[in-house]
Amino acid sequence: MAEANPASPPVVTPVNSGTAWRRLGAALRRHPTAIAGGVTLLVMILVAVLAPWLGTVDPTDVSPIRRLKPPSAEYWFGTDMLGRDVYSRVIYGTRVSLTVGLAVAFVATLIGLAIGLVTGFVRWLDAIVMRVMDGLMSIPSVLLAIALIALTKASLTNVIAAIAIAEIPRVVRLVRSLVLQLREQPYVEAAVASGTRVPMILLRHILPNTVAPLLVQATYICASAMITEAILSFIGAGTPPNIPSWGNIMAESRSLIQIAGTILLFPGIFLSLTVLSVNLLGDGMRDALDPRLARRL
């Protein structure tokens, strides 16, 4: 920021905490792909919220008479083997995917942040917790989620919990590395010297500096959680079959791919688009918030 020139009125201070957000906005404008991702994601969220008003019928309404209809003016995406409207099912499926993606991102980030902060600062805990995290990470996240689902009853909440547990180690690693870096900062030393207690050091001096990279990490978790949910549903280990999720729709139409391939096509397109938009947004945010982060993630 340039010094105020002598002619300008003296006391006005235009700069405030808004600068970080303004910088983010400016950087996003430089990334047209991120804008495209953001807009697509926004549309998907609107679709999920407004699902009942988008010309849909009850997605679970069975009608054997009109089963396996190809796409037409009446049934935009056709109907499935039970005569359910695929369009309505896909639109309602948006709700499931976005719920799972956002919930997992939120839960995994929050829990991972808490664990990472503590292990980064309490050295004796670090070795123990990090070995547990290494153990969790050594199991592929889909496999771990399947195992966790197998232990409980299939429900949306359990799917979210299972995927979140599989994602937590990644957040812990990121937060821990940030904390280890930040705790060596002279201003943290200065805070210790001025009598700040450890919890306040974490809250005042470490936490605010982890927000930006965590936000980026959260978008990646969101995208990967949506894919994992679809995979789990597809193999029948995820969202209960009575709930129309993209993975369920694809799973049910799997055997019909030669007769009615479109049933599988539409949820696939929606899933790809949503995951792509979240990833594009994440990439844009990463570049905007910290170019150096590109290497760490």
Partner 1 sequence: MSETASVPAPATLPTPGNALLEVQGLRKYYPTRQGLFAAGAPKVHAVDGVSFWIREGETLGLVGESGCGKSTTGKLILRLQDPSAGSIQWRGREITDLNAGEMRIIRKELQAVFQDPYASLNPRMRAGEIVAEPLRNFGEMTGSERKERVAQLFARVGLRPDQLVKYPYEFSGGQRQRLGIARALSVNPKLIVCDEPVSALDVSVQAQVINLLMDLQEELGLSYLFIAHDLAVVEHISHRVAVMYLGKVVEIAPKRTIFTAPAHPYTEALLEAVPVASPGLRRARKVLGGDVPSPINPPSGCRFHTRCPYVEARCREVEPPLVAIAPDHLVACHLRPGSIMTDPASGPTPAA
Residues that bind partner 1 (CB under 8 A): 1, 10-11, 13, 15-16, 185-187, 189-198, 200, 204-205, 208-209
| Structural contact between residues 176 and 130, judged by C-beta atoms closer than 8 angstroms | yes
Closest distance of CB 86 from partner 1, Å: 50
Residue (209 or 262) nearer to partner 1, CB: 209
Give the nearest distance from C-beta 10 to partner 1 in angstroms: 7
DSSP 53: G
HSE value, Cβ hemisphere, 13 Å, CA-based, for 206 = 29
As measured in angstroms, the least distance from the Cβ of 195 to partner 1 is 4
Residue 201 amino acid letter: I
Give the nearer residue to partner 1 in terms of CB position, either 189 or 290.
Answer: 189
Q: Are 245 and 228 in contact (CB under 8 A)?
A: no
Q: How far is the CB of 262 from partner 1 (least distance, A)?
A: 52
Q: Which two tokens stand for residue 279?
A: 């990833």
Cα distances (Å, whole numbers) of residue 10 to 5, 14, 19: 9, 11, 20
> Based on CB atoms, which residue is closest to partner 1, 205 or 286?
205
Look at the chain and count its residues: 297
Pick from 242, 82, 218: nearest CA to 155: 242
Nearer to partner 1, 12 or 65 (CB): 12
Distance in Å, CB of 4 to partner 1, minimum:
10
The nearer residue to partner 1, 64 or 195, going by C-beta atoms, is 195
